[in-house]
Structure 1
Amino acid sequence: MCGIGGVLTRRGPASASGLERMTHSLRHRGPDESSTWVEDRLGLTHTRLSIIDLAASHQPMHAVDRSWSVVFNGEIFNYRELREDLDYPFRTEGDTEVLVAGLVRHGIRFVERLRGQFSIAAYDHTGRTLHLVRDRLGVLPLYYRLDHRGIVFGSEIKAIHAYLAEPPEVDPDSLDGYLAGRSVPAPFTLFAGVSKLPPGHRAEIGESGELRVDRYWAPPSVRATDLDPATTVDEADRRIRDAVQAALVADVPVGSYLSGGVDSSLIVAVMKELRGTAPVDTFAAGFGDPRVDELNWAQLVSDRVGTRHHQVEVRAEDFLALWPSLTWHRDAPISEPADIAVFRLAQTARQHVKVVLSGEGGDELFGGYPKYRFASWGGRARWVPAGPRQAVGRFLEARLPASMGRHRIALRALTAGSEVNQLGTWFAPFTAAERRELIGRDPAPERARQLPDGTDEIDRMLRYDLASWLPDNLLERGDRMTMAASLELRPPLLDHRLVEFAFGLPSNLKVRRGVPKWLLKEVARRYLPEEIVTRRKVGFRVPLDSWFRTGLRETARDRLTGPGSFVGSVLDRHAVSRLLDRHEGGGHDEEIRIWTLLSLEVWHEVCVDGWAKEWRAA
C-alpha cells in the first residue's frame, strides 16, 4: 500500500510547498520512497510501500504519450492477466503501469476490470478531467475537499489539512452519525468540508469545476433460492481458495493474522496449503484476561496447520500511551477498543513481513454475527406499534443486569422504530432517543441511512452492514492501524468475485437451522479442527468494563466532564455524568458508550485543538 494525495486548482498553480507538506503527512503509509509532481493547476504526491516490482514502478506515473498521469494506492491482483490484453510499450513489471496502460487504451471504465484493493487519482490530460476511484468494498480510503479554490484529495484527511495549512473545524451535523455507529458514514466525516468517497464509487471533476460522483459497482441481488447445499459448499471452497491465492500476489513476504476464530483460521489453513512447504508467519494478540483472550485457540490452529506463530500481549497502559498517536493516524475517534490491539499486532507483524492477510468480511458476507439469527424477530417486533414497543423496551432494559449485555443490545435493536433503525441499532452505542438527549436535536434529514433492497430480513441486514459497518468502521480501522506500522493489510474474503458469489446466494445457506455462517463453516470443516469451527464467537474484545472502573476511571471522568471538555461542551454534560455513575456503580456495563465518548474527546484534543495549535505555532 501507499499514500496518495494531490490538488487540482480552479486557477493558479498548485502549491509545491503544500504538496511537500502533504507528502510528509503520509510518510508512514509509504516509507520506502516518496515523490511529488506539479504541472500548472495539477499537483500529485505519492509515498510508497514497495510490494510489487520493488526497483521500478515509481509514482506519480505518466503514460508514454503523456495522456494520463496517475497516483495509485493498493494492489491490482490480476495485473498480469490484464497486461496480456494491453497493447502498450511497457517499461516496468508492476501493476501501476498496467493501470496506466488500461486508462490509455480504454479510458476510466478500465477500473471496472480491476481485481484488488485500490484508491486511484488519474488525470486525463486530453479531457482535462481528474478522476478519483475507490475500490468496490472500501478496503482503501480516499478523501477530498472541494471549495472555490479547487479540489484537494488524499489517502488520509491529515494530508488535506497539511496542504491547505488551515486549522480544521468540526462538522456538528456528523456528531449524530458518529454516536450512532462509532464512525461517520460516507460521504461525511467529522471534519467540516471534508468528504469521504464511498466504496464502489468514482468521482470526476472537469474544467467547469463541478464534481460528479457515480457508483460503478454494487453487490448483486439473490439469483437463486433452490441451490443444492453440497454443491454450493464445493463452489464456496473453490472461490475462497481463489481469493486467497489472488491475495498472495507480492514480491515481499506475506503473513496472516490469526485470532483463532473461524475466518482467520480458514484463511491461514488455505494459505498454508497453497504455499506448500514454504513457511507461513501468523500473528495473534492477547490481553491478559481469560474472559476475552483467544491466544490458546490461535496456538491450536497454528500447531495444526504448521505456521511460525508470534504473539503480543496488550495492557491497559498501552491504551493510555498509544491513544493520542493512533487517533492522529486514524484522523477520527478510535472506534473500537481493539484498534489499539490491532496496531500492536501490526507492529509485531512488521518485524517479519510487509503484508498480512486478515479475516474481515466473513461475517458480513455469510451471516456470522449472532444478530443474524434474530433478523426475522425484527419483522415480528414491528407488528407492535413503535411507541408501545419502545416504551416496553426502555422498561425492560432498565431492569437487565450488567451480565446480560448481549440481551440488552438485542432488546434495543428489536424495539427500535423502523426496520432501518433496527438495522442501525445493533451496532449503535446510543439509540436515536439517547442521541437526541445528548445532542439536543434530531439529525439532518439528508444524513439518514436508507433501507437497502433485499429478499428478506437477513439479506437486508447483510447489505446494510456491507455498506456501513464494514467500510466505515472495520476496514477504516484496519487500514489506519496497519499503515501506522507501515504494514499492508489484505482481506481475501472481500475479493469482489467472492462477494458477488456470496450475495447471489439465498439466506438459508448463510444462517441455516439457526447456525450463523453455515456455508463458511462447512468449508472450514475441510481444513480445521471441529472445535475451532463450532466454538462460540467471541470477537476481538478488550476488557474495558473493568479498566473503566480501575485504571482508566479517572481519565474518563476528567476528560468527559471537566471544564475544558469538548464532549462536555457539545453534548449534555449531565447525561454524560449519569452514564459514568451507572458504570462505576456496577449495575450497568456502559463500556462501549464511555469508549465512544472518550474517543471523541481524544480526537478533538489531537486532531482539532492539537492541529490548530501546531498551525498557529508554524
Structure 2
Amino acid sequence: MCGIVGIFDTRGQRDIDPALVRRMNATQRHRGPDEDDVYTEPGMAFGHTRLSVIDIAAGQQPLSNEDGSITVCYNGEIYNYRELTAQLKELGHTFKTKSDTEVIVHAWEEWGVDCVHHFRGMFAFGLFDRNRRQLFLARDRLGVKPMFYTLLPDGFLAFGSELKSLRALPNLPRAIDPCAVEEYFAYGYIPEPRTIYKSAYKLSPGFRLLQNVGQPLAQPEQFWDVPFKLDTAITMQDAEEELITRLREAVKIRLVAEVPLGAFLSGGVDSSAVVAMMAGLADGPVNTCSIAFNDKKYDESEYAQQVARQYQTDHYTETVDTDDYALLDTLSHLYDEPYADSSAIPTYRVCQLARKRVTVALSGDGGDENLAGYRRYRFAMAEHSVRGRIPSALRKPVFGTLGRLYPKADWAPRVFRAKSTFEALSRDLVEGYFHGVSIMTDAMRQQLFSDGFRTQLQGYKAIDVMRRHEQQAPTDDPLSLIQYLDMKTYLPGDILTKVDRASMAHALEVRVPLLDHKLVEWISSLPPDMKLRGGEGKYIFKKALEKHLPHDILYRRKQGFAVPLESWFRGPLKERVREALLGPLLADTGIFNKKFLHEMVEMHQSGRRDYSAPIWTTLMFEAFLRKEMNG
C-alpha cells in the first residue's frame, strides 16, 4: 500500500522538474512511510511512497520491465499475483522480484489495456510505455483505492492518490466547481468523477484511461460493472452454502502479508463474519481491535467482545471520548475537499488503534451495499410498493400538486404532516431514494444558496448523478437498482473514501473481502428477495452465518459509528458553529443565503429543530475553505 504521483507530457518530451515530483510525493508521505523514490525521463515522471507489505526486500517502486521500456507506479494489492506470475512465466516473461507490482508490467506487455481484466484485488496505478509514448491509468472495479488526475494548462497530465498531491502543483487552477458544491450539500461528499475543483477529476471505479502523446485529454473508459444477472434457479440452501464458501475464499486470499495482520471487529454482522472466516483459516489467534465509547448510547464494544470470546481472538479495545470534536480540522486536511460523514471521527480513531498492533487490517465494508443491509432499502421498497398501486399518470400531477399546496407542518403530530407524504407519492423510485439519502433536500438547498449561486448552477441538480447511473444500470429491479446506485455513489464516494484516508493517515492497509469483485458479481446474481425479505436486510447472509455467529449478533438492530452532533452544536461547539456559519468566510463566497444560515443556527441552538447534519455539512465546507485560503 502506498501513495503514487505522476506527470506526463501530452505534447512531447519536455523535461519535468524532479523537485516538483518530490513535493507532490511529500504530500502523501503518510501513505507510505517506509520508502520513497522518484523516476524521471523526458516527458514522464513518477513518484512513489511505500508501505512495505509484500516482498519487502525487493518490491521498490517505480518498477520497470527488463529493458526499462515500461514503468509502473502502483497503489494496492493484487491477490492473484502468484497465479498470474506463473501464467506469465509460461508465456515467456522473466521476473526479477516476488512482488505483485511486477505482474502489472508483464501483464501490460502481454495483454495491453485488457491487463486489468486479469487483476483480482484493489489497485490504482499509472503505467508508462516509452515505445508507444502512452500513459495508462486504471482504478479497481469497486473503487477501494483512489485516483485523481488533471490536465494542466501547459499540457502536462498529472495524477496522484490524493487531491493534495495535485494541489502541490503551482499551476493547478483552483476554481471551485459550482456543480460539485450542489452535489456536496446533497450527498455529503462529491461523487465521482467530480472533485471540488473544475480542473481536477476522480477516475471512477472500474475505469481506465489511455493517454497518447499529441492527443487531447482522453476520456475514461469503463472496463467493469456490477452485472446483476439473476440466477433464479439457485435454492436458498445452495445459496447459503456457496455464500460461505465464496466469503471464506475472499478472506483467504487477503491473508497474504509479510507484516502483522488483523481485523476490525465492531460487533456488527459484516466485521464479525470476516473474523469468523479468518479464525477458521489462521494458524493462531486472529488479532482484532475495536473502540469503545464512554457514552453507552454509542457503545457496541460488548458485542465485539462476544465474538472475540467465541473465536478466541487476540482482542484489543480502547475507550475513546464521545466528545472527540478536536479532529474537526484534522478531517479537512485528510479529505482535501468538503466531506461530511461525521463517522470519519471514530473511523480515524479505530485505524489509529489498529496501527498500534498491525500493519494490515481486514474490514467488513461493503456488506450493506452488496446484501441490502441498510434500513433505507426497506423504507424505499415500502414506499415504492405504495406508489405502485397508483397509476403513474395520476401520481405525479395529483400528488405533486397536493405536495406543493399543502402547508409544511413539521411541528404538528405525524398524522397531520401530509405534505411530505404527498411529495413522496409523487416521486419515482430514484427521486424517492435520492430524497431519502440527501443531507439537505432540494427545498433546503434552494434556501441555502444565494440567488447568484443558483444562477451559476444553470438548472443543474444533484439528482442528475443518480439519473446518469440509472440510465446505465444493468437492472430494472427496484431493489437491485438502488443497490447499484449506492455502489456507484455512496460506496466509493463516502464509505471507501472515509476508510482509505483514515487508514492511510496512520499507514494502515485495509483490505475488504466483501468487495472482492468475484464475490460481488455472484451476490448480484441472487434473487432480490434473498437479500431483503420480510423487512430483514442481508437475509441470506444472516441465515448462512447462523452456524457461525450468535443470534443477537446477527439480528440486533444495526447501530454503526455515530457522534453526538446535536448536543455538540448546542454545547461545546456552539461558538465554533456561530463563528463559522455566520462569519465572513462563507458570506464572502457569494454561495450562501446569509439569512437562511442564521435561521438554521438559531433554530438548532434554541432546540426548536435538529439541523445537526446540515450544520456539520456546512461546517466542514467552511473548514475546507479556511484551509484553502491558508494553503
> TM-score by structure 2 length?
0.91
AA aligned to 1:49 is L
Contact 2:148–2:203 (8 Å) recurs in 1? yes
Are 2:623 and 1:602 equivalent residues in the alignment? yes
When residues 438 and 231 of structure 1 are mapped into structure 2, their CA distance, relative to the original with a 3 A threshold, is: same
Contact 2:292–2:299 (8 Å) recurs in 1? yes
AA aligned to 2:444 is E
Q: Distance in 2 between matches of 1:327 and 1:500?
A: 35
1:392 to partner: Cα distance: 4.0
* 1:3 alignment partner in structure 2: 3
Q: Distance in 1 between matches of 2:375 and 2:239?
A: 23
* 2:432 alignment partner in structure 1: 422
Contact 1:289–1:543 (8 Å) recurs in 2? no
Residue 79 of structure 2 is aligned with which of 71, 77, 80?
A: 77
The residue correspondences of 1:133-212 to structure 2 (distance < 5 A) are 133-148=138-153, 149-164=155-170, 168-210=174-216, 211-212=218-219
Secondary structure of the residue aligned to 1:65 is coil
Q: Distance in 2 between matches of 1:256 and 1:413?
A: 44
Secondary structure of the residue aligned to 1:224 is coil
When residues 573 and 453 of structure 1 are mapped into structure 2, their CA distance, relative to the original with a 3 A threshold, is: farther
Structure 1 spans left out of the alignment, 5+ residues: 612-618
* 2:493 alignment partner in structure 1: 472
Secondary structure of the residue aligned to 1:107 is helix
* 2:308 alignment partner in structure 1: 302
1:200 to partner: Cα distance: 0.2
Residue 118 of structure 2 is aligned with which of 102, 113, 118?
A: 113
Greater CA drift, 473-482 or 325-334: 325-334
Are 2:239 and 1:229 equivalent residues in the alignment? no
Q: Distance in 1 between matches of 2:588 and 2:550?
A: 47
Q: CA RMSD in A?
A: 2.4
When residues 542 and 554 of structure 1 are mapped into structure 2, their CA distance, relative to the original with a 3 A threshold, is: same
* 1:523 alignment partner in structure 2: 544
Secondary structure of the residue aligned to 2:253 is helix
AA aligned to 2:488 is A
Q: Distance in 2 between matches of 1:507 and 1:573?
A: 46
1:253 to partner: Cα distance: 1.3
Are 2:258 and 1:251 equivalent residues in the alignment? yes
Equivalenced residue count is: 605
* 2:614 alignment partner in structure 1: 593
* 1:219 alignment partner in structure 2: 226
When residues 199 and 391 of structure 1 are mapped into structure 2, their CA distance, relative to the original with a 3 A threshold, is: farther
When residues 39 and 568 of structure 1 are mapped into structure 2, their CA distance, relative to the original with a 3 A threshold, is: closer
* 2:57 alignment partner in structure 1: 55
Are 2:311 and 1:311 equivalent residues in the alignment? no
When residues 345 and 16 of structure 1 are mapped into structure 2, their CA distance, relative to the original with a 3 A threshold, is: same
Contact 1:567–1:600 (8 Å) recurs in 2? no
When residues 379 and 531 of structure 1 are mapped into structure 2, their CA distance, relative to the original with a 3 A threshold, is: closer
The residue correspondences of 1:103-502 to structure 2 (distance < 5 A) are 103-148=108-153, 149-164=155-170, 168-210=174-216, 211-276=218-283, 278-315=284-321, 318-319=324-325, 321-376=326-381, 377-378=383-384, 380-381=386-387, 383=390, 384-385=395-396, 388-389=399-400, 392=403, 398-399=409-410, 414=424, 417-439=427-449, 440=451, 441=454, 445=460, 448-449=464-465, 450=467, 451=470, 452-502=473-523
Contact 1:356–1:489 (8 Å) recurs in 2? yes
Q: Distance in 1 between matches of 2:177 and 2:398?
A: 31
When residues 453 and 586 of structure 1 are mapped into structure 2, their CA distance, relative to the original with a 3 A threshold, is: farther
When residues 166 and 379 of structure 1 are mapped into structure 2, their CA distance, relative to the original with a 3 A threshold, is: same
Secondary structure of the residue aligned to 2:347 is helix
Contact 1:176–1:443 (8 Å) recurs in 2? no
Residue 67 of structure 2 is aligned with which of 52, 60, 65?
A: 65
Q: Distance in 1 between matches of 2:303 and 2:409?
A: 36
1:429 to partner: Cα distance: 0.7
Secondary structure of the residue aligned to 1:570 is coil
Greater CA drift, 371-380 or 547-556: 371-380
The residue correspondences of 1:19-30 to structure 2 (distance < 5 A) are 19-30=21-32
Residue deviations 1:479-528 (CA, integer Å, cap 9, x gap): 00110111111111000001000111110110012211101111221211
When residues 411 and 67 of structure 1 are mapped into structure 2, their CA distance, relative to the original with a 3 A threshold, is: farther
Secondary structure of the residue aligned to 1:227 is coil
Contact 1:184–1:472 (8 Å) recurs in 2? yes
AA aligned to 1:257 is F
When residues 415 and 549 of structure 1 are mapped into structure 2, their CA distance, relative to the original with a 3 A threshold, is: farther
> TM-score by structure 1 length?
0.93
* 1:99 alignment partner in structure 2: 104
AA aligned to 1:550 is G
Q: Distance in 2 between matches of 1:63 and 1:566?
A: 54
1:583 to partner: Cα distance: 1.9
Contact 2:399–2:423 (8 Å) recurs in 1? no
Contact 1:286–1:293 (8 Å) recurs in 2? yes
Q: Distance in 1 between matches of 2:439 and 2:422?
A: 10
Q: Distance in 2 between matches of 1:297 and 1:514?
A: 23
Q: Distance in 2 between matches of 1:394 and 1:52?
A: 63
Are 2:553 and 1:542 equivalent residues in the alignment? no
Q: Distance in 1 between matches of 2:246 and 2:270?
A: 14
Residue deviations 1:517-564 (CA, integer Å, cap 9, x gap): 101111221211111011011121112122221111211121011123
AA aligned to 2:433 is L
Contact 1:144–1:153 (8 Å) recurs in 2? yes
Secondary structure of the residue aligned to 1:436 is helix
1:165 to partner: Cα distance: 5.8
1:400 to partner: Cα distance: 6.0
Contact 1:566–1:601 (8 Å) recurs in 2? no
Are 2:41 and 1:39 equivalent residues in the alignment? yes
1:411 to partner: Cα distance: 6.3
Contact 2:79–2:121 (8 Å) recurs in 1? yes
Q: Distance in 2 between matches of 1:411 and 1:262?
A: 33
Q: Distance in 2 between matches of 1:90 and 1:40?
A: 26
Q: Distance in 1 between matches of 2:398 and 2:575?
A: 38
Structure 2 spans left out of the alignment, 5+ residues: none
When residues 599 and 401 of structure 1 are mapped into structure 2, their CA distance, relative to the original with a 3 A threshold, is: farther
AA aligned to 2:629 is D
Contact 2:173–2:199 (8 Å) recurs in 1? no
Greater CA drift, 389-398 or 322-331: 389-398
1:394 to partner: Cα distance: 9.7
Q: Distance in 2 between matches of 1:605 and 1:28?
A: 22
When residues 95 and 312 of structure 1 are mapped into structure 2, their CA distance, relative to the original with a 3 A threshold, is: same
AA aligned to 1:109 is D
AA aligned to 2:269 is V
AA aligned to 1:18 is L
1:178 to partner: Cα distance: 0.4
* 1:615 alignment partner in structure 2: none
1:226 to partner: Cα distance: 4.1
1:415 to partner: Cα distance: 5.2
1:134 to partner: Cα distance: 0.3
When residues 373 and 158 of structure 1 are mapped into structure 2, their CA distance, relative to the original with a 3 A threshold, is: same
* 1:614 alignment partner in structure 2: none
1:26 to partner: Cα distance: 1.0
Residue deviations 1:345-378 (CA, integer Å, cap 9, x gap): 1111111000111111100000001121233323
1:379 to partner: Cα distance: 5.3
Greater CA drift, 355-364 or 244-253: 244-253
When residues 401 and 152 of structure 1 are mapped into structure 2, their CA distance, relative to the original with a 3 A threshold, is: farther
Contact 1:413–1:423 (8 Å) recurs in 2? no
